[in-house]
């Protein structure tokens, strides 16, 4: 059968149909930028200290000295989780003694914050941390909240990939968008932390699932040259727009419930897209639904003011597709042969470690020096040039070397952060943003690269499985950030080392630049560095080259 791009080339690369599809699918990604990193502000932990109630009847001097001092990162700060025993302080106060002069505070016993905490409301008026006191002995609930969201994304990636290959890209796209928007609205009315996290997990099931479905749908509808722009300057830029709007909206809305509601409402504007965005003709062909695929192609040609040929696919091609469509494909087809097994393994490793770096750096922005809203905005805006560079690299250079080089850049820069003196905070922020730049570029390219590695029959399943591995990395990323409480350099050392390592592994993947998308498992390009037995089917491009040589000889 002819290549799909070749069979539909009469429509042209750019036209009203392609422009509409490009813009609407890209715009549908904006809410993902809100939801994916909303935990940066929803679950932010402000400065806090034990509350000293008025009923303690302490003098002003003793009240000011009721909280012990602790050393952190070479500086003295007031304890967040302990206070001096109020009964003892009250006795000293009644005797008229002064702290530090007539009393040695180190001899006074400490107690936990039995009366709750006082929070600094200057930066965050309300977060889930302050509402349910997820601090001190409950501080593990903060990173767990974010991890459970990414666990939902993991589940959604696994389920939606198979559902999309079975029921269609369009249905899964809108079903997962409905899950993300609907349950986010319900989440606004959470009455406790348990309810919030359960709903957050369900929201996560729809979050990246619709991102992957939109990406695959656009990659299969749009032409080869447009596909690269869509995957970088389209989907990724619009995601970055949502990410950039997040700190701007959070700056003006500092109550977590109202903020979550404001971030959820834009998802409702995606409902009318159901009647505009078509199903993937390539997927319909793989399912043997030839008439529906041709109807969409003819409708697209009509919108482009182009007359479609009477016969788009020949009778022999239709029969070939029908024969292939009867074979069901499952997750086990991703590990069926040695070649696809290595592709799957390397893709899983690549996506997982990139995700650790990307989300680890994104979630760590409140812990950087300076204003958290500005740091988050800088972390978001650095993605725009990262996506532009990714687009340029994908157009002109090797997929393998482009992905590997950006990973090396991001990883090496993160390793250099430990060499920066603590007083040079601005330089540390610059290096963090440069590391985010490299990892984000790689994250953008890996979507295109993985989609080109897998054949049509399991493409969405392959990308979905890789995305599922990426969620394992995102689940771990909050705990990488949490390690910064013990050593502020440790998260960067770990993320930098892993990123450099996976950059080396990327060099073993086959090159896909300039190659047609494979439709069957036998047409996949081969992993580099492994020997193959004779008789194994060669790629479609190699088949074509052999046919050309044969015809020339005749």
Q: Find the CATH number of the domain harbouring 381.
A: 1.20.1250.20
Residue 294 lies in a domain: no
Residues 437 and 553 occupy one common structural domain: yes
Q: Global pTM?
A: 0.73
Q: What is the pLDDT of residues 88-147, one digit of tens each?
A: 777 766 666 666 655 666 667 788 888 888 888 888 888 998 889 888 888 888 888 888
Closest C-alpha to 246, from 140, 376, 107? 376
Domain edge (last residue) among 286, 303, 320:
286
Residue 512 lies in a domain: yes
CA distances from 57 to 60, 105, 316 (A): 9, 18, 92
Domain edge (last residue) among 119, 154, 171:
119
Residues 414 and 270 occupy one common structural domain: no
Residue 9 lies in a domain: no
Residue 313 lies in a domain: no
pLDDT of residue 189: 92
Q: What is the pLDDT of residues 170-188, one digit of tens each?
A: 888 888 888 888 898 999 9
d(CA 60, CA 40): 36
Residue 456 lies in a domain: yes
Residues 336 and 272 occupy one common structural domain: no
**Range of weakest confidence among 163-177, 321-335, 529-543:** 529-543
Residues 162 and 259 occupy one common structural domain: yes
Model confidence at 543, pLDDT cuts 50, 70, 90, reads very low
Residues 441 and 536 occupy one common structural domain: yes
pLDDT of residue 537: 45
Domain edge (last residue) among 119, 144, 169:
119
CA dihedral 490, 491, 497, 503 (to 10 degrees): -170
CA distances from 361 to 29, 84, 348, 389, 499 (A): 21, 37, 20, 19, 12
d(CA 404, CA 348): 15
CB 171 within 8 A of CB 283: no
Residues 35 and 64 occupy one common structural domain: no
Residue 496 lies in a domain: yes
d(CA 472, CA 147): 9
- Burial (CB < 10 A; 0-12, 13-18, 19+), residue 547, is exposed
Structure tokens at 509: 């993947």
Residue 448 lies in a domain: yes
Q: What is the span of the domain harbouring residue 371?
A: 329-554
Residues 69 and 91 occupy one common structural domain: yes
Closest C-alpha to 198, from 240, 189, 510? 189
Percent residues over pLDDT 90 in the chain: 6
Residues 255 and 346 occupy one common structural domain: no
Residues 178 and 256 occupy one common structural domain: yes
Residue 480 lies in a domain: yes
Closest C-alpha to 462, from 326, 346, 327? 346
**Range of weakest confidence among 25-39, 314-328, 372-386, 498-512:** 314-328
Residues 527 and 396 occupy one common structural domain: yes
Residues 96 and 158 occupy one common structural domain: no
State the total domains in the chain: 3
Compare 209 and 262 and report the one with higher pLDDT: 262
For residue 460, pLDDT over 80 is answered with: no
Residues 482 and 514 occupy one common structural domain: yes
d(CA 486, CA 139): 14
């Amino acid at each position: 059968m002819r290549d799909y791009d070749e069979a539909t080339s009469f429509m042209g690369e750019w036209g009203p149909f392609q422009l509409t599809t490009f813009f609407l699918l890209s715009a549908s990604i904006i809410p993902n930028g809100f939801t994916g990193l909303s935990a940066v502000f929803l679950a932010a932990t402000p400065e806090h200290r034990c509350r000293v109630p008025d009923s303690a009847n302490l003098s002003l001097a003793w009240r000011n000295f009721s909280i012990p001092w602790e050393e952190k990162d070479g500086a003295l700060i007031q304890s967040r989780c302990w206070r001096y025993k109020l009964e003892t302080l009250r006795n000293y106060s009644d005797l008229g003694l002064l702290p530090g002069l007539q009393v040695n505070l180190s001899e006074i016993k400490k107690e936990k914050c039995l009366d709750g905490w006082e929070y600094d409301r200057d930066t965050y008026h309300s977060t889930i941390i302050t509402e349910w006191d997820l601090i001190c002995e409950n501080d593990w609930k903060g990173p767990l909240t974010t991890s459970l969201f990414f666990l939902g994304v993991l589940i959604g990636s696994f389920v939606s990939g198979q559902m999309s290959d079975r029921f269609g890209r369009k249905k899964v796209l809108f079903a997962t968008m409905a899950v993300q928007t609907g349950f986010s609205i319900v989440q606004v009315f959470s009455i406790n932390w348990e309810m919030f996290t359960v709903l957050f997990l369900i929201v996560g099931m729809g979050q990246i699932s619709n991102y992957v479905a939109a990406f695959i749908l656009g990659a299969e509808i749009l032409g080869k040259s447009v596909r690269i722009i869509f995957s970088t300057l389209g989907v990724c830029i619009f995601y970055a727009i949502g990410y950039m709007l997040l700190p701007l909206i959070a700056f003006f809305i500092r109550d977590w419930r109202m903020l979550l509601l404001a971030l959820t409402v834009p998802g409702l504007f995606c409902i009318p897209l159901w009647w505009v965005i078509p199903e993937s003709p390539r997927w319909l062909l793989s399912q043997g639904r030839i008439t529906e695929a041709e109807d969409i192609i003819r409708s697209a040609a009509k919108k482009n003011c182009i007359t479609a040929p009477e016969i788009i696919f020949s009778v022999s091609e239709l029969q070939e597709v029908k024969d292939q469509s009867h074979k069901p494909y499952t997750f086990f087809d991703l590990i069926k042969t040695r070649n696809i097994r290595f592709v799957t393994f390397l893709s899983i490793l690549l996506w997982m470690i990139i995700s650790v770096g990307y989300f680890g750096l994104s979630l760590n922005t409140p812990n950087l020096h300076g204003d958290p809203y500005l740091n988050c905005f800088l972390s978001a805006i650095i993605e725009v040039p990262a996506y532009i560079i990714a687009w340029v690299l994908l157009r002109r250079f090797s997929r393998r070397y482009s992905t590997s080089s950006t990973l090396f850049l991001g990883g090496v820069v993160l390793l250099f952060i430990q060499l920066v003196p603590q007083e040079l905070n601005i330089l540390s922020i610059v290096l963090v943003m440069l590391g985010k730049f490299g990892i984000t570029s790689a994250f953008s390219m890996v979507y295109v690269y993985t989609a080109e590695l897998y054949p049509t029959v399991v493409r969405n399943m392959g990308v979905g499985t890789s995305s599922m591995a990426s969620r394992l990395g995102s689940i771990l990323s909050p705990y990488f950030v949490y390690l910064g409480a013990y050593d502020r350099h440790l998260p960067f050392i770990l993320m930098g080392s892993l990123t450099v390592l996976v950059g080396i592994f990327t060099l073993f993947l086959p090159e896909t630049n300039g190659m047609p998308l494979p439709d069957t498992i036998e047409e996949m390009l081969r992993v580099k560095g492994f020997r193959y037995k004779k008789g194994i089917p060669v790629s479609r491009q190699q088949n074509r080259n052999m046919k050309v040589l044969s015809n020339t000889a005749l």
